[in-house]
Each structure stands twice: as structure tokens, then as C-alpha cells.
Structure 1
Amino acid sequence: MTELKAARTRRIHPAWWVAAVTFLALVGASGFRSVPGVLMEPLHHEFGWSVSTISAAAAVNMALYGLTSPFAAALMERFGIRRVVTGALLVVSAGSGLTVFMTASWQLILCWGVLVGLGTGSMALALVATVTGRWFVARRGLVSGVLTAGGAAGQLVFLPVISQVAETYGWRPAALGVAFAALAVAPFVVWLLRDRPSDVGVVPYGGTAADNVAPVRTGAARIAMRALFSAWRTKPFWYLAAGMMICGATTMGLIQPHFIPAAHDHGMPMTMAAGLLAVVGLCDIAGTIASGWLTDRIDPRLLLLAYYVLRGLSLIALPSLFGPDIQTNMLAFIVFYGLDWVATIPPTMALARAHFGASAPVVFGWIFASHQLGAALMALGAGIVRDELGSYDLAWYLGGALCVVAGVLSLMVRRTAVPAAGPALA
């Protein structure tokens, strides 16, 4: 009877429950990251802050989001996934909620930039790499695609709701709503998220007992820095980091905060532009899951080449697509950009695992830090371009050219490698 009960209980492998609650945490935390583009105009109207000032807060958010990631991966090794994710959700909720009391731009940078950046950075794609690395042997590419889609799509799917609330009731209720969304996820994390398969007496999905990796008991900062010092002596690290920097610049740094104000410059209502970005989020789910599936079957370098070059061509075409209404060409751009949004993540993770082995989650945290550094620089730079030239056109063209460079860099990564040894984390 006991054996039958255990069989029924584990008909669904616990790894899938861990993946599900991780997906929920990534979606809940990503809500506030969708706010900059929607609230840029209301904040400018109420406080008189320039686009570049508000963009500076977004840039701080993105930079900390990336720089926190490798240390968060190391903290997960030291203290466990559940503790780190729960604390991060509470920080995100506090940061977004406190914005309703701000009266000066430095407070925007503190709440929106620092607190939310640190909180969301603790649940960045290093969390995806950690969960997939610990809990899955089979289907890693597919699961990494699904989880990545959750984090990215959540930022964009929230947009119509936030935009509508901000337009009807003001930006403060919109910010409070996102704070509540992040807070509401925390109980599910405490209830369902477990650190390792051995905690519930199972092996990783599709793996054996040999795939259960023992926890690391050294300091988190030491883990992160040792992984960085080991990785930065290799060419693959720099090629992947440079490609990710351009990826971040052309998604979170350019489109996410600046597409709505750019569309508004051409006469499109903000709610309509927010709706278009929501479509990007919906298409991103399909695109990233498909990318994860393809990563299990096709050379990741070729996938990255296709993703980056096609993205670059679409950005170069974007300025001619803007108008007061949604035309067929603009809708085609939105659908493609959604499919391509973070489709680069699963193949990049696969290449990181191939080259860095057991230390891949922390190394990928550093690679993702470059993603967010690129996002921060582009978010600020595009705001300056808009203030100085009165148009975003130069920013779109620059982003397109950089994407072509990223495609070339992807081909320069060696196809095969001997994975780094497990002790690299110690």
C-alpha cells in the first residue's frame, strides 16, 4: 500500500512542480519591469522629469538586474533557491510599492532602479540556469525555454493592464498593483519550491543519482568571483558575453522602455502601443519554447546567427513602420520580434553548459550581467538620442547594426568543448 501511494504521489516528477513555481515567480517578479515604458509619460507630466532622467532610473535597474545575477546564483548554491527567491520577491514588492511616495528623481532611482533591480536580479536567468541544471537532465533546452519565456513575457503581458490602470486611475495604483502581484507569489514559492531533487528523495528528471550535485558551502561571493576568474580566460566566455550584451541592448534596453514613447511620437495612443508590446510578450512564449526545443536538436551557434541577424534587419526597418494606426507591416514586426525576443537564451545556456560544465549557472550569471549592462547603456543612450535629436531613428539603426555583429560573434564560439570540472564552484 505504501509503495502504491508513493507511485501515485510521484506520477508527476517533482521537477515539474519546481519548474511551475519557478515560472510563476519569474512572471510575478517581472511585472514591475514592464512599467518604465508605460509610466514614462505620466512621470514626465507630473514631475517634469526628462526622458533621459527617467531612462537613467531604468538603466540603473537593468544594470543591477544583471550584476546581481551571478551573486544570486552563488547565493542559491550557498543558502538554497527557496530562501533567495522569497527574499527577492519581498524586495521587489517593497521597491515598487514605495514609488508611490516619491517626490524627487533620486527616489525614483532608489526605488525603481536599486531595490527593484536587486530584487529582480536575484531571480534573473541565473535562476533558470540553476533550476534546469539541478532538476533536469532530459528536456533541459525545452524547460529553459519555457522558464525564460515566463520571465520575459511577464514583463510585456502586464503592459495593457498597467497602461489601462495608469490611464484610468493614475500611475500610483498601477505601481501598487504590481507590488501586490510580486508579493502574492511568495507563499507559492515557500510552499512548492525545493532546492534539490535529493530534498524530496528523487533524482533529477531523466537523470540518475550521479546527477545529484551536493550543495556548496563556501561563500557566495567567493563562488561567483572564482567562476568569473576561471571563465574570463576563455574566448567562448567573451563571445557569449558580447552577444548577450547586444541582445540586452536591443530588447530590454531599446524596445521595452522606448517603443511606447517612440510610437506615441508618431501619433499612436499609448494604450495601443502597450497592446502591441503585449503581443510581443505572447509571441515570446511560443518563440522561446520553440527555441528551447530547437536547441536540443540544432547547433546552438547557427540558431544564434539566425536570431541576431534577422533581429537586426527588423530593427533597421522599424522607423518606416511607425504611424498613428497599426498597419500590417508593424504587426508583422511585432510578431517576429516577439518570437525572437529572448529566443537567444536557450542556445546561449547550452553553449555555456558545454564550455563551463558544473560552474555554468554562475558563469551564465556573469554572461547575463553583460546582457543587462547592454540594456542599461542602450536604455540611457536611446533616451539621450531622443532628447538631443527629437527622434529615436538613430537608436534603431545602431541596434540593427549591432545585431549583425552579435551573429558573427556567435559563429566564433567553438562547437564542442570539454566541460569544466565540478570543483570550479568550490
Structure 2
Amino acid sequence: MSSPTLQHPRSAVRGRPHRAWLIAAVTFVTLLGAAGFRAAPSVMMDPLHMEFGWSHATIGAAMSINMTLFGLISPFAASLMDRFGIRPVVTLALMLVAAGAGLTVFMTASWQLLVLWGIFVGVGTGAMSMAFVATVATRWFVARRGLVSGVLTAGNATGQLIFLPVLAHLTDAAGWRTAAVVVGCGAAAVIPLVLVLMRDHPHDLGLRAYGATAADPGPDRVRGGGARTALAALAIGARSRVFWLLAGSFAICGATTNGLIGTHFIPAATDHGMPPTVAASLLALVGVFDIGGTIASGWLTDRVEPTLLLCVYYLGRGLALLALPSLLSPHTSPSTWVFVLFYGLDWVATVPPTVALCRRHFADRTAVVFGWVFAAHQLGAAVAASAAGWVRDVTGTYDPAFYGAAGLCAVAAVLCAVAGRRTSRGKLPLLEGCNAQEVPVSPVNR
């Protein structure tokens, strides 16, 4: 017998932490691990090149496939979470990652790298990406939504970086196959945590979302239509100029983080005589600082106009990239540490204000629409991962790639400024199927 529909979900018991915080903690750990699984290829680039003779462009192509699928799967994963629930989707994703990483040890040809690290790990981690963040933050939180988005985003981005020195040490001491096995076992270890503690919606427990009020009770539980819902959201978003402005700026964000620095910083530093383990440690510090930067960005997003934040973030990132070629050397210097500090604080600080602009414009479909915006992020990362490897093979240096990325950051700032003007005109489309109706923007929606 089915349970009766909850008309008035209760609030959390007074004096007890709201269950939303436990859900956020489980999500953070899952995202931290999932992002860590994607760190291995950048550490393994030189060992694979030396053992198999594969070019930087070939290995970069595997990362391009990974990043492309990581983004394209995101909106479909958000829709599948609406239809089937968070737990089964995330569990299946972790199983794919474990299989992709574990089978890597049997590779003998480059196409196998494309399939395992490109497709398996790309699809698996894509189901646990930024649309997952938006889904949890939107369903479980009304108050502190920006802060939670920042914390969860930090887990997603930081995990990829803080695992780097561990994987670099394993690769150096025991070989890249040992590191791959550790990655696969790590994915499998997260599965029981998700199965036991994760819940799909506060209504499942008879609760309101954290901070929900009569004025803003939070989203209802809605069973979506899977892939059709994702494609319908894309169709609606594609008719909005704001969507394309945000997608364009976020593509540049991906190109200048995961695509360029995340994939090629270690080999670029190695080209200048820096030991790989030192370069990996610096990249890991970027991840450590990213935690503070992204959380602070979430806190600021609840208080400062998101457009202003995005313009500052992108312009600052462009200046850092302009300076990077002159900072790389066999030894670290104070200016190197300044770059690591700034780039860490700025790494994915763009996510909370971008989510805020999506919510301001797309309301209850934020998770799925942002999934498509994030797909643009990963497409940008994929292009940069492949293009920077090609630049290195042709010119023998990464410097032109860094300078080009700096120019793109200025373009991203302009796109965000235009998007901010268009989302502040007082109308908010609520997406239902393929139809949109507009209602005035309220302070709660902002």
C-alpha cells in the first residue's frame, strides 16, 4: 500500500541538526572522491608516454573525451535523479568509475585508454558532477543555498587536486597501475555510504527543506521524464540569450581550469625542470585553497550581486595566466606561491554565482538547465585539454596556450556582465515541460 501524500511536511526537530546537513555531508564526500578519480590521468601522462610511446595529444584526447562526457552526462543525470532517485544513479556511476579505473591495468593500446578513462570514467563522474550539486542544494535547502552550493562545489573540484600528490607518489614508487587500482577501490568504497545514508528528497522523511517557510516551501517532489526532460530543458534554455551567455562564460571557465591547468600544469612545470612530485603538490595546494575560495564565493553570492563576482573572478584569472609562463622554473619562488594561492581561491569560485544566475532566470528547472551550462564548461575543458597538448607537441612549449587562455578570461567577464544585465530585468521564467511562463523575481528567488 502506498503511503499518503504529505501535504505539510514538518520541520526538523528543534535542537537537532536538520537532516539536510547530513545529506550535504554525504554528497560532499561522494563528490570529493569522484573528483579524485579524475585526477589520475594528469599524473599518468608522462609514465604512459614513456611506457607506450603515446603522444601528449593522444593522452590529452582521452582526457577530452572524459571531460566532454563529464559535462554532457550531467543534465541527463539530473533528470534521471528526478525520475529514479539519487541513490541508484550515484551507485551505478560509482560502479562505472571502479570498473574503468580497475581495467586500466590491462591496457596495451591507446584506444583502450580512450574507452576506459574517456568513456567509463567520464560517464561515471559525469553523473556525480555539478548538476548533482544543484539537485541537492535545490531540493534540500532554501536558506544557505549559496553557501551549500559553494561547499559542495569545493568537494567536486578540490578532490581532483588534493589526490594528485598521493597518486603522484604511488605512480613514482609503485607504478601507474598501482595508482589505477587504488582509484578503482576508492570508488567502490564510497558505494555503501551512498546506499545507507543518502535520501532523495526531504519529503521522503516528512521534512521541509532547510530554511523553508510558507512563503518559500521549497521544491515539491516531481518525477521527471528522464532524457526527454533534459532535452526539453535544453530546448527552453537554448531560446534564452542568458543561457548562451552563461554557457559561453562557463566554457571558458572549464578551459582555464580542468582543461588547461588541471591537465597540463604538471607536464608544463616538468618542461621547466620542476620535479613531477613538486608540481603535483603545487596543484594539490591549488585544491586546498579552492576549498576556502569556493565556500567564500558561496557566502558572497548570498550577499553580493553574482555578476560583479563573476567579472572579478575572470579578470583576476586572466592576469594570473598571463604571469604563469614567467613563474615556472626548477624551483618554487614567492611569486609561484602567490599564483598557487590566487588560482586556488579562484578555481571554481565561479560556480555559486553562476548557479545563482541560473536560478534567477530558470527557477525550478535550475538543476537540469545548469547541467547543460556545466556541459559547456566541460566542452571548453575538453577543447583546452586537447588543444594545449597539440600546442605543446607543435611548439615545444605551453606558453601560447597560457596566453590564449588569458585572453579568453577577458571575454568571459564581458559575457557575464551582459548576462547580469539581462537577468535583472524583473522577470523569471518558470519552466514546465516545454512551456515557460513569467513571474516577477522575488528576493527569495534571488
TM-score bin (small chain)? over 0.9
Are the equivalent residues in 2 in contact too, given 1:266–1:323 (CA < 8 A)?
A: yes
Are the equivalent residues in 2 in contact too, given 1:21–1:193 (CA < 8 A)?
A: yes
Residue 405 of structure 1: aligned partner: 411
CA distance in 2, matches of 1:184, 1:13: 26
* 1:421 partnered with 2:430: yes
The TM-score normalised by the length of structure 1 is 0.96
* 1:90 partnered with 2:95: yes
CA distance in 2, matches of 1:293, 1:64: 30
CA positional deviation for 1:218: 4.4
CA distance in 2, matches of 1:235, 1:322: 39
Residue 351 of structure 2: aligned partner: 345
Are the equivalent residues in 2 in contact too, given 1:96–1:178 (CA < 8 A)?
A: yes
CA positional deviation for 1:94: 0.8
CA distance in 1, matches of 2:276, 2:110: 23
Amino-acid identity (%):
58
CA positional deviation for 1:31: 1.4
What's the CA shift string for 1:243-288, capped at 9, x where partnerless? 0000000000000110000000000000000000010000000000
Residue 441 of structure 2: aligned partner: none
CA distance in 1, matches of 2:26, 2:161: 19
Residue 398 of structure 2: aligned partner: 392
* 1:327 partnered with 2:325: no
Higher mean Cα deviation, 412-421 or 134-143? Answer: 412-421
Equivalent in 228, 243, 249 of residue 243 of structure 1: 249
Equivalent in 362, 374, 378 of residue 356 of structure 1: 362
* 1:56 partnered with 2:40: no
CA distance in 2, matches of 1:93, 1:332: 36
Residue 283 of structure 2: aligned partner: 277
Residue 219 of structure 1: aligned partner: 225
| Higher share in helix | 1
CA distance in 1, matches of 2:426, 2:31: 31
Runs of 4+ in 1 over 6 A off after TM superposition: 6-10
CA distance in 2, matches of 1:190, 1:9: 27
Code of the residue aligned with 2:415 in structure 1: it is L
CA positional deviation for 1:389: 0.4
Residue 371 of structure 2: aligned partner: 365
What's the CA shift string for 1:32-61, capped at 9, x where partnerless? 211122110000011010000000000000
Residue 42 of structure 2: aligned partner: 37
Are the equivalent residues in 2 in contact too, given 1:359–1:424 (CA < 8 A)?
A: no
CA distance in 2, matches of 1:422, 1:197: 22
What's the CA shift string for 1:218-260, capped at 9, x where partnerless? 4211100111111111111011000000000000000011000
Higher mean Cα deviation, 175-184 or 296-305? Answer: 175-184
Are the equivalent residues in 1 in contact too, given 2:154–2:294 (CA < 8 A)?
A: yes
Local SS of the residue matching 2:258:
coil
Are the equivalent residues in 2 in contact too, given 1:352–1:364 (CA < 8 A)?
A: yes
CA distance in 2, matches of 1:287, 1:33: 21
Are the equivalent residues in 1 in contact too, given 2:203–2:221 (CA < 8 A)?
A: no
CA distance in 1, matches of 2:274, 2:411: 32
CA positional deviation for 1:201: 1.1
Residue 176 of structure 2: aligned partner: 171
CA distance in 2, matches of 1:172, 1:300: 43
Are the equivalent residues in 1 in contact too, given 2:362–2:431 (CA < 8 A)?
A: no
Higher mean Cα deviation, 73-82 or 8-17? Answer: 8-17
CA positional deviation for 1:202: 0.7
* 1:17 partnered with 2:22: yes
Residue 118 of structure 1: aligned partner: 123
Higher mean Cα deviation, 317-326 or 209-218? Answer: 209-218
CA distance in 2, matches of 1:35, 1:153: 14
CA distance in 2, matches of 1:279, 1:197: 36
CA positional deviation for 1:393: 0.4
CA positional deviation for 1:422: 5.1
CA distance in 1, matches of 2:424, 2:146: 17
CA positional deviation for 1:425: 7.6
Equivalent in 176, 184, 189 of residue 184 of structure 1: 189
Code of the residue aligned with 2:81 in structure 1: it is M
Residue 157 of structure 1: aligned partner: 162
The TM-score normalised by the length of structure 2 is 0.92
Code of the residue aligned with 1:381 in structure 2: it is A
Are the equivalent residues in 1 in contact too, given 2:79–2:224 (CA < 8 A)?
A: no
* 1:382 partnered with 2:388: yes
CA RMSD of aligned residues (A): 1.5
Residue 258 of structure 2: aligned partner: 252
Are the equivalent residues in 1 in contact too, given 2:80–2:224 (CA < 8 A)?
A: no
Are the equivalent residues in 2 in contact too, given 1:135–1:197 (CA < 8 A)?
A: yes
Name the count of aligned residue pairs. Answer: 421
CA positional deviation for 1:86: 1.1
CA distance in 2, matches of 1:224, 1:231: 10
Are the equivalent residues in 1 in contact too, given 2:12–2:207 (CA < 8 A)?
A: no
Residue 273 of structure 2: aligned partner: 267
Local SS of the residue matching 2:428:
coil
